[in-house]
Amino acid sequence: HTPWPGLIEAYRDRLAIGPNWKTVTLREGGTPLLPAGHLSELTGCDVYLKVEGLNPTGSFKDRGMTMAVTDALARGQQAVLCASTGNTSASAAAYAAKAKMTCAVLVPQGKIAMGKLAQAVMHGARIIQVQGNFDDCLELARKTTAEFPTIGLVNSVNPVRIEGQKTAAFEICDALGKAPDVHALPVGNAGNITAYWRGYSEYYADGLTSVKPRMLGVQAAGAAPLVHGAPVKDPETIATAIRIGSPASWNGAVTAKEESHGAFRAATDDEILEAYRLIARTEGVFVEPASAASVAGLLAARKEGWLDSGLTVVCTVTGNGLKDPDTALAGMPEVQPIPVDPVAVASALELA
Ligand code: F0G
């Protein structure tokens, strides 16, 4: 039994790896593909959750970041910069710390979940709050790195990020022994759907799988440019991770949808929150709100007859629920403390 080496080592022959790369890894990837019994019952399908919240910094971003920070180091760059709704910045901060590089993150003012901010702080990133949304932050990051080439841009507009993230599709096919029929995932800046489609397409082209899944990309209703077919100027949703109006990988997402005969869907904040609670209570998996969009979209698609029963379906749940305790605890009723007394415990449980 050899321990999981991290995804660059695990899939070295399938990744565009530069010469003289000294891998910066936190042993990311190798996440569970968890059978989801309740969701399977609800849909009549074989549903699995790809639990990306179990990556080292609690989101799928680590798959791209091991590649991007390794690449920046090999290029001799002194610092890395990203725009982020929170997870990319947490990941960049951790990998930069591991590589002993400087990291700066541009985040939309007041719109990132507390846990993600805590991660960037702890890993020593320079946190720069911007008076604007994610789209403004990304434009600023692109302009800054274009003007100052010693700073590496580690957003998913950096192609090595997508390379790393495609390994999630490889892992799913390796675990199932085949490709799923349908793959659902939340879409924000659209790097991840682009990466999955590349991964599935490469396995298929090499004869390792005999089908490619239909891709179901789910956006939040208040931030659904791909669903509307046009950028959204002031995106708004409780799922702050995907509060994005102008996805950088627009073309990659459209290609994934069209080539796979898939679909884009919008999920309302209510649907997202309902799926968020459902996964936690029935599958034992605590994800962040944006991650639950994949499940919300899948359930709605099933109701509308888009999904036949008997199919094998994978939903990527992209980030860990611990990142956003505020949303989890919102609306929790105030409870009175009880005396130190077993009868009081039993009566609190309405068992006495
Ligand atoms: N789910 C989570 C938890 C995310 O953090 C993101 C993106 C997505 C889904 C969407 O993925 O952008 O590849 O379509 N978060 C970015 C960030 C924008 O800055 O952390 P995508």
Owner of token pair 């969701």: 39
Tell me how far the alpha carbon of residue 187 lies from the centroid of ligand 1, in angstroms. Answer: 7
**Separation CA 67–CA 17 (nearest Å):** 8
Q: Among the atoms of ligand 1, which is closest to the Cα of residue 59?
A: 3
Q: How many CA atoms lie within 13 A of 155 on its CB side?
A: 28
**Strand pairing of 46-51 and 33-35?**
antiparallel
- Of the candidates 132, 137, 318, the one whose C-alpha atom is nearest the C-alpha of residue 220 is 318
Question: Which residues surround ligand 1 with Cβ inside 6 Å?
Answer: 59, 61, 84-88, 156, 186-192, 241-242, 288, 290-291, 318-319
Instruction: Return the ∠ at Cα 241 (arms to 117 and 130), rounded to 5°.
Output: 55
Q: For the complex shown, is ipTM > 0.95? A: yes
CB burial class (10 A; 0-12, 13-18, 19+) of residue 110? exposed
Ligand 1 center–CA 4 separation, angstroms? 25
Ligand 1, atom 19, lies closest to the CA of 84
Asked if 262 contacts 214 with a C-beta cutoff of 8 angstroms, the reply is yes
CA of 244 to the centre of ligand 1 (A): 9
Which residue's alpha carbon is at the smallest distance from atom 3 of ligand 1?
A: 319
CA 268 to ligand 1 centroid distance, Å: 17
- pLDDT value for 1: 78
Q: Given ligand 1 and candidates 62, 89, 192, 295, which is best to mutate, with the most ligand atoms within 8 Å of its CB?
A: 192
Interval between CA 256 and ligand 1 midpoint (Å): 17
- Contact, 245 vs 235, CB < 8 A? yes
Dist CA 128 CA 112 (whole Å): 12
Ligand 1 atom, smallest distance to 291 CA: 1
- pLDDT value of residue 271: 98
pTM, two decimals, is 0.97
Amino acid 19: pLDDT:
83
- List, for the chain, all residue ranges whose pLDDT scores fall below the cut of 50: none
Question: Up-side HSE of residue 295: CA atoms within 13 Å toward CB?
Answer: 33
pLDDT value of residue 351: 82
The token pair that represents 117 in the structure block: 């901010």
How far does the centroid of ligand 1 lie from the alpha carbon of residue 99, in Å? 23
